[in-house]
Amino acid sequence: MSAKSRKRTPAVGSLLHLKLDPAGDVSLQNQIRQKLIDAILSGAFPAGRRLPSSRELAGHFDVARNTVVLACQLLTAEGYLIARERSGLYVNEDVVKGRARFARVGGSVPSASGIEWKERFRAPLQEADAYRHPPDWQKYPYPFVEGRFDRSLFPVSEWREASRMALGVREINQWSTDAAETDDPMLIEEIIKKILPRRGILARPEEILITAGSEQALYLLIELLTDRSTKVAVEEPGNWSVRQMLTRRGIRMVHQPVDRDGMMVGADLHGCSLVYVTPSHQRPTAATLSMERRQQLLALAAAKDFVVIEDDFECETNYLDDAYPAMRGLEGGDRVIYAADLSRVLAPGMGLGFIVASPDVIAQVRRLRALVSRHPPLNNQRIAALFLSLGHYDSAMLRVGRVFRERLLALRDALNHYVPQSIAVAPVRGGTSYWVRGPAGLSVADLVREAEARGVLIEPVDRYFAKGAPREPVFRLGVTGIPTARIRDGVAALAEVVRALSSGDLQRIDLKAPGWLTPAELRRLMPGATLLCKMVDGEPCTIELSADGQMSGRAGYANEDRDEGRWWIEDGCWCRQWNVWSYGEIARFRTRLEGERIQWFNDAGRMLDTAVFVPRRAQAA
């Protein structure tokens, strides 16, 4: 090795941990930029250090030299690198100037200091949702989850068009102002012209405020309109997040029962200052507040001098029947404050909602919003405005409406076929879920757990009840995340679990029966497969098996716990060993595959664990 090569080796060595992903969505050129920026900012490649030559970097990253040259040219233009004539590229010292150094030895993370933080919380949030869907819910064969949308529903090309237009110079000049109380006037105009007329509402610009979704709208309204002397009526069962907002403020609540016609209206509402209701599709039962009760509620509001908050969170999913007009648009609607989302299907890109109320209310909520969070980003508001103005919103809602209608009808038909008389609230006038009743004595907790083990995700509903668990075994099935083609099979699988639990005869495996996976079958099935299972504490775990025998796992509702390991086949058994999990010990399993579920047994024939099995070909599809 020459002296010149030896001088370059340390520089290249500092980059050895940087690897590219040829199959990734980001181009190789941009991956190189990202990796070099990370190395510079982390100190792995120090300020003032000469960068390896483009030839050396190309060899290290195994890419064409021109790809490296273009990446380095961009980094030079951006100021990360400095070109010195006849010397090469160097890390710009100004990039890291002013960055604080780690005061702890080795930059270690601070250890526990003895502070009992929980004792210092004056108003801790309670665990309102004892059950959470796994983060990898889309990989389950039958995800009857509500409010989680499969990727096929998002209008990608239309959203890109609106986003590109919002980045034009003229548009940027309009939305790049920094007024804390200002919303995009174009979005306000589009809501007035295109959204509100469908709900029977006429409004002026001064009657509308943009929010970061209906949850923020409700939080701001509760903050403005309530104190400890306020008495508020809410639905029972009802929106648990609103109930928690009210509880944190010490608000007295009247829990008003719900039936198939929505919230009951009667003398219990006397003395209330505020009534919260979800009339279009009651959250969570999907019941629609009848026109008779809407009129009764508005008449009572005028007679007893209370205000109604109308949460129209699913205002775009009235497709099974003619929609009732919003209460805000009816006679007496001036006592109604209307809150809604722009479609939740678009929430990953949009995440916007709005309030319609009297100008006096809007002015106060605007000031409160400026105090706590300012306005939602104006660039997002302009994208949404352009999306609406181009007609994309209407066409997307038509398509989504057709999809949801098809799915909800498929769910209704499957329930009627496999578990007749199980729909607890019917008919529904749209929406995306059914409130389902199981046979008497059924444990919903056991049903949720056993169904998930077989690839079926359903939602328990205890959290929606303020007065404890419901008296009958009910749960919720949603269609926002499951394709129509899987609904019948999913309900059939769920019905089997219901029957097994109801009879007290859960499936047991006869170890003498055929069906054990052979080594040849294991070698064919396991490479590239994903296993969806539960940790011992009940948290979800996703295991991915590589064809080369490597294994990666992530657990927890935020995928916060991760490990690596290896798997192999030996003596007819499937074997695995984690680096950290399971104490790093080798585990051996005899294996069966029944439908979507893989089962593991020890040498004594006792079932040890089970998981949803997602083969490689299913993931590719």
Q: Say what the pLDDT of residue 3 is.
A: 40
Architecture in CATH for domain 137-148+396-503: Alpha-Beta Complex (3.90)
Tell me the domain boundaries of the chain: 3-96, 137-148+396-503, 156-392, 519-620
- The CATH number of 519-620 is which of 3.40.50.150, 2.40.160.20, 3.30.1130.10, 2.40.128.640? 2.40.128.640
Verify cis geometry, omega within 30 degrees of 0, for the bond prior to 134.
Answer: no
Q: Same fold for the domain at 137-148+396-503 and the one at 519-620?
A: no
Q: Say what the pLDDT of residue 390 is.
A: 92
What's the start-to-end Cα distance of the chain, in Å? Answer: 50
Q: Say what the pLDDT of residue 100 is.
A: 65
Report helix, strand or coil for 548.
Answer: coil
Going from the first residue of the chain to its last (621 residues), give the mean pLDDT of each consecutive group of 10, the final group possibly shorter: 43 64 84 86 81 86 90 89 86 78 58 74 65 85 89 88 87 71 90 91 95 91 94 94 91 93 93 94 88 95 96 68 84 94 78 93 93 86 91 88 89 84 68 86 90 92 84 90 94 90 60 81 94 77 94 88 94 92 87 89 78 78 48
Helices of type H across 113-152: 117-120
Look at the domain 156-392 and name its fold. Answer: Aspartate Aminotransferase; domain 2 (3.40.640)
- The CATH number of 3-96 is which of 3.40.50.300, 3.90.78.10, 3.30.499.10, 1.10.10.10? 1.10.10.10
Strand blocks (E) in 205-292: 208-211, 231-236, 252-259, 262-263, 274-277
Kind of pairing, strands 336-341 and 307-312? parallel
For residues 525, 561, 607 and 587, what is the CA-based torsion angle, rounded to 10 degrees?
70
Report helix, strand or coil for 603.
Answer: coil
The pTM is what?
A: 0.79
Q: Say what the pLDDT of residue 107 is.
A: 53
Q: Say what the pLDDT of residue 42 is.
A: 77
Are the beta carbons of 69 and 110 closer than 8 angstroms?
Answer: no
Helices of type H across 454-586: 484-503, 519-525
Tell me the angle at which helices 65-77 and 28-42 cross, rounded to the nearest 10 degrees.
50
Are the beta carbons of 213 and 347 closer than 8 angstroms?
Answer: yes
Q: Which residues contact 605 (CB under 8 A, 6 or more apart)?
A: 511, 590
Q: Say what the pLDDT of residue 9 is.
A: 46
Q: Say what the pLDDT of residue 422 is.
A: 77
Are the beta carbons of 311 and 344 closer than 8 angstroms?
Answer: no
Are the beta carbons of 266 and 311 closer than 8 angstroms?
Answer: no
**Distance in angstroms (rounded) separating the CA atoms of residues 452 and 268:** 40
Are the beta carbons of 590 and 519 closer than 8 angstroms?
Answer: no
Residues 58-96: b if buried by 16+ CB within 10 A, e if exposed = bebbebeeebbebbbeebeeeebbbeeeeeebebbeebb
| Backbone angle region of 497, left / alpha / beta, with phi > 0 → left and psi within -120 to 50 → alpha | alpha
Which residue, among 504, 439, 450, 425, has the nearest Cα to 473 in the 3D structure? 439
